Amino acid sequence: MRIEILHGDITARKVDAIVNAANSSLLGGGGVDGAIHRAAGGELLEACRELRRTQLQDGLPVGSAVATPAFRLPARWVIHTVGPNRHAGQTDPALLASCFQESLTVAAGLGAQSVAFPAISAGIYGWDARQVAQVAFDAVGSFSSSGRAGDSPLEVVEFVLFSEDTTAVFRTVLESSP
């Protein structure tokens, strides 16, 4: 599995799955969540409402992930995950690691070869981008060395960062990763 760092808009990525930094309601929000819903069209909100109604009456828990089709996006699926909100006292890195691990597990289950992540929790939810990058790369590393990766066709894990600063942080952390 190969990691790539890109500067840009995740909604434009033609990968099998893009990951959405959603909130527990799954009913849309600001930041990357809003951008994904706008670009995917109203069918995405409908699909999320259906998930809430049928499987997730109490919302998607922090650290969990669930997939929907990507509708009008170039990607095939959107994997929604809920990052920890530092402003709400959710400061345990294990919750953030779980977002990356669960999203990779869902991607592998879909048979995805490529998946693109934003900097989950590094926006409105207030985490430091450096810590998000560290947790993300560790999660990819442990996923790829676990049995789960062996059976999956996952080849490329992209991190698509919206600002130049965050892109530079992710590149620096990746270069210093073991």
Measured CA to CA in angstroms, residue 104 lies from 107, 124, 163 at distances of 5, 23, 24
40 near ligand ADP, judged by CB under 6 A: no
User: What number of chain residues touch ligand ADP (CB under 6 A)?
Assistant: 21
Burial (Cβ within 10 Å: 0-12, 13-18, ≥19) of residue 142: middle
Binding residue for ligand ADP (CB under 6 A) from 17, 67, 118, 134? 118
Tell me the C-alpha distance between 95 and 70, whole Å: 25
Pairing of strands 114-117, 17-22: parallel
Binding residue for ligand ADP (CB under 6 A) from 47, 66, 79, 122? 122
Catalytic member of 9, 33, 138, 165: 33
168 near ligand ADP, judged by CB under 6 A: no
Tell me the C-alpha distance between 71 and 44, whole Å: 7
3-state secondary structure of 80: strand
Q: Please say if 33 is a catalytic residue.
A: yes
135 near ligand ADP, judged by CB under 6 A: no
Least spacing, CB of residue 127 vs ligand ADP, in Å:
7
Non-local (6+) Cβ contacts of 39 within 8 A are 11, 72, 73
115 near ligand ADP, judged by CB under 6 A: no
**Closer CB to ligand ADP, residue 89 or residue 178?**
89
Q: Which residues bind ligand ADP (CB under 6 A)?
A: 9-11, 21, 31-33, 35, 83, 118-125, 160, 162-163, 166
Query: Catalytic residues, which ones?
Result: 33
